[in-house]
Structures are given as structure tokens and as C-alpha cells.
Amino acid sequence: MERQFPDFLNAMEWNLVARRSLQVQSVSQKAYNPIPPQNFSLDSFVLMIGVRNAEAPNRWYLGAWATMFAPMLPGSTSEFVASVVVTQRKIRLGVLNLVVLPKVMAPYLLEVKFPVWHEQILLEVWRYDGQDIDQFYRLDQLQQSADSLSGKLDDIDRKIDTLYNP
């Protein structure tokens, strides 16, 4: 059996969450407030995130950090805010980045934060709404188990043939 993969090439499976042009806010000629973080409530764990800065030199690599927050606490007596950092990924500048997040809780909060040196940004966030990626992993595991079982059955058949047909 051929290995199964999600159909990431099917444009109908991707939905735009946000496309935003963002700029710093000038405070004076020599100072500005950086671009504020952008927050999204999501339930898809497969995303594409693109960050572009038309004025960035070619040597710039980092476009943003994408952080997944789960709204939960270990107990009601915790002294912390109910917002647990699950994972953080660097987002490369100038390309779409495929981001596969762990399935901890849905919905979750995605925060996209930009380095202070970016004065203008184009941000795109896409979510994958196709077949659950875990189903493909489970199918692969089932196929491997079936292949292993088939190999064992072949061994048993050979041993039976050897016993009855010496």
C-alpha cells in the first residue's frame, strides 16, 4: 500500500485567517513603537505563516516568532494567568512557513510577534482544514502492523509447508 499524506496541495483545504499590512508607529523622528503582536484564536493545528518586509536586507532571516498558548492551569490555586506556552516557532522572513503544532487543546491562542527592527510587515496566516493529519499517521502505523503481520503469516505458512511436505 502506498503511504498516505495530507493533501496540502489542494488549495480548497487552506483558508485565510488573516492578511495584514502592519507598520511601526512613529513617536518622533528618531523613535517609534514597534509593531504590536498579532493574536488569533484557532482550532487548526496545521498552519502556514508568511512574513514579508519589502525593505529588509537579504541577510535578514527572522520574520517573527509564533507562539501557541493554551488557556489552562494545572489547578485553581495557581498564581499564574491561565495561558500556558505550549510551543514557539521561528518564522522565516520572505516565505510561507509550514507550522504543525501539537494537539493540546482547541481552541488555542496563536501570537505572532515581530522583531523590533522591522518597521513594516505583511503578515499572512492560513489554516489547514483538510483531513486530520493524525489520521495519516495512524494509517501508516496500521499499514506497518499489517505488513508485519503478513510477514509473520508467510513465515508460519512456510513452517507448516515444511512440516507437511518435508
Strand partners, 136: none
> Which one has a higher pLDDT value, 101 or 153?
101
* 29 pLDDT tier (thresholds 50, 70, 90): confident
The structural domains of the chain, with segments of one domain joined by +, span 11-130, 132-166
pLDDT in tens, 73-120: 888 888 998 889 999 999 999 999 999 999 888 999 999 999 999 999
Question: Any idea which architecture 11-130 has in CATH?
Answer: Sandwich (2.60)
Identify the sign of the CA torsion 39, 40, 46, 51: negative
User: Is a pLDDT exceeding 90 seen at residue 27?
Assistant: no
Angle at 7 between CA 6 and CA 9, to 5 degrees: 140
